[in-house]
Amino acid sequence: MPMFDQEVVVLMGSGSIGEAIARRVSSGRRLLLADYNETNLNNVQQRLQEAGFVVETIKADLSSRDSIKAVIDKAQSMGKGIKYVINAAGVSPSQTTPERVLKVDLYGTSVLLEEFGKVIMNGGAGLIVSSQSGHRLPELGNEINQQLATTPTEELLNLDILQPSVIKDSLADYQYAKRENVLRVAAESVNWQKRGARINSVSPGIIMTPLALDELDGPRGAGYKRMFNSMVTKRPGTPDEIGDLGEFLLSDKAQFITGSDFLIDGGITAQYWYGDISEVRGSGHVEKGK
């Protein structure tokens, strides 16, 4: 099939979860991988090409609007339109500063929703990979929810609720970022609907990825391991389990679903709020799953 007759799939973030979703929706389409780490890009590209996918890459920074626009420009040059966009990019609170967490996971995701919402093709769909951490915050109230959902993107980081005097560490910033992702997906879905397109999010629990391994080996590792005993699965999840849900949400089988978030965490968030708190929470903070 000629290149310009093919639809394009964009994957932001070349990690295990994003790859699992992309594998399920990229057959017969052209796939653009975007990531800040060029070594990861090259490794995933080679793996997917060897599996028969048509793949191009671009170095990208989720925290930069110009970089996201460059990804869109390249994607539009690859085929007849952007059919699917998957955002699986992000940073771990154990790996970086609170400011970087907000810049990438909160601001960057908001820019992506806004910019791709301007170009997604009719019948297209998007998926934001958020995290169970967003479900660990208590109810913020309608006023703050509205601020996180609808504040103009370039003003988001100025919100009082996101200032260092309020949020004290990277983990808390991560929680707020992931709560904002879910709220923003709902708000931006209104604009996506104007183009005949859908956008949803998934909130994974503890999924065995390199990022999760960093967390398991970090200061909160013991708490995570205690969590497994309270889960229905007695184990962490796998990228393929997130891939199966992602495939469904992007497909026409989910054409009546948009602006929604899907928690996929083995039941641990329910345990956190309603179960044996001493077992799930342990002696310290037990959060973050993606």
| Dist. CA 120–CA 222, nearest whole Å | 42
234 given a catalytic annotation = no
225 given a catalytic annotation = no
**57 - beta bridge partners?**
33
With b for 16 or more beta-carbon neighbours within 10 A and e for fewer, the 150-175 pattern comes to ebebeebeebeebeeeebeebbbbbb
Please tell me which residue in 107, 174, 176, 224 is annotated as part of the active site.
Answer: 174
Phi, psi of 238 (to 5 degrees): -120, 155
Task: Find tokens 């007849």 and name the residue.
Answer: 80
Pairing between strand 81-87 and 125-129? parallel
End-to-end CA separation in angstroms for the chain: 37
| Dist. CA 94–CA 212, nearest whole Å | 10
Pairing between strand 54-59 and 7-12? unpaired
Cβ atoms 72, 65 nearer than 8 A: no
Please tell me which residue in 83, 103, 178, 290 is annotated as part of the active site.
Answer: 178
Which residues are the active-site residues?
174, 178
